[in-house]
Amino acid sequence: MFLLDETPNTVAYMLAGYAVLLGFPILYVLSWVVRRSGLKHELELLKIIQAEKDAARKPASKS
Amino acid sequence: MSQTSRRLMIFNVITGVLVAAALGLVFLYAPRERQMGEVQRIFYFHVPVAWVSFLAFFVTLCTSIAFLVKGEIKWDKVSAASVEVGLVFTIMAIISGSIWARPAWNTWWTWDPRLTTYTILALIYVAYLMLRQGVEDPGRRARFASVYGIVGFISVPLTFFSIRWWRTIHPVVIGAGTATSIGGFDMTPPMVVTLMFSLFAITVLYFCFLANRLQLQREMDHVEQLKAQAMAD
């Protein structure tokens, strides 16, 4: 293809290439956001479990 | 916001500015290559991304050795983070190279020595992450992964030198290419400047990703610790 006299029009390939080169890091950063939100959710659950445990212990210690 | 988070935020902003400046050079400063046209601009990010994937796996080699020598788990965590980030760069390099190859070689894919060894390298490091998932005990996991990280690194020099050792159509960026290579070109000074700056920016991007991934790992460890405490209560 490149043995032509004129410069070929390869803009679409360049755009596709940079869509990958810029899109992949963005997707990777988004995966962190998803993982971090999962961690926040787990932390909230742990807090609820801990609060329930503390509430269950209090009446037992009073009696 | 803690001191570490603030530093990480500043590092992220600096990295963003560097990558934006590299993109500016690629599209506004580097001249259009006469034979390939605009698609040649992929080269300015494809080459640094591939180089940085090698760097990521080299970091894994070093930290794997450090873990086996010192026995500190922090080195294993850096190894795992570096492989994950390195794989992102490897996939970017494979797909962007394939897109460049379509107009340059008239095919999306060919079983050329460089493409084949690089794909094997990617699969080796995918297997590294799978190995980690398959071992429950953290100590055993770290030991197995460290040995694998050292042995797996053999694929990196093999991939790097494949275009110099065997007949290949993949162009050689530094040094003389083989007679069979297709798509190589002589770089003008602005092209060299753009490539070098992109290489710097993408290297900084790797360290930025690594720092962020390690921060995420610390948060994951914290949650795991709390879970273990909750189970013990």
Closest alpha carbon within chain B to A5: B35
Provide the pLDDT confidence category of residue B229 given band limits of 50, 70 and 90. confident
Please name which of A31, A29, A40 lies closest in space to residue B8, comparing C-alpha atoms: A29
Contact B37 A35 (CB under 8 A): no
Which residues in chain A are contacts of B91 at CB distance < 8 A? 24
Contact A39 B223 (CB under 8 A): yes
Every domain of chain B and the residues it spans: 3-232
Contact B227 A20 (CB under 8 A): no
pLDDT at B52 over 80: yes
pLDDT at A5 over 70: no
pLDDT (tens digit per residue) in B82-127: 999 999 999 999 999 999 999 999 899 999 999 999 999 999 999 9
Contact A25 B32 (CB under 8 A): no
- From B46's Cα to the closest Cα of chain A, the distance in A is 8
Mean pLDDT of A8-35: 95
CATH number for the segment(s) B3-232: 1.20.120
Which residues in chain A are contacts of B46 at CB distance < 8 A? 17, 21
Model confidence pTM above 0.95: no
Which residues in chain B are contacts of A13 at CB distance < 8 A? 38-39, 42, 99-100, 102-103
Q: What is the mean pLDDT of chain B?
A: 92
Q: Which residues of B touch A (CB under 8 A)?
A: 32, 34-42, 45-46, 49, 85, 88, 91-92, 95-96, 99-100, 102-104, 106, 183, 205, 209, 212-213, 216, 219-220, 223, 226-227, 230, 233
ipTM for the complex shown: 0.89
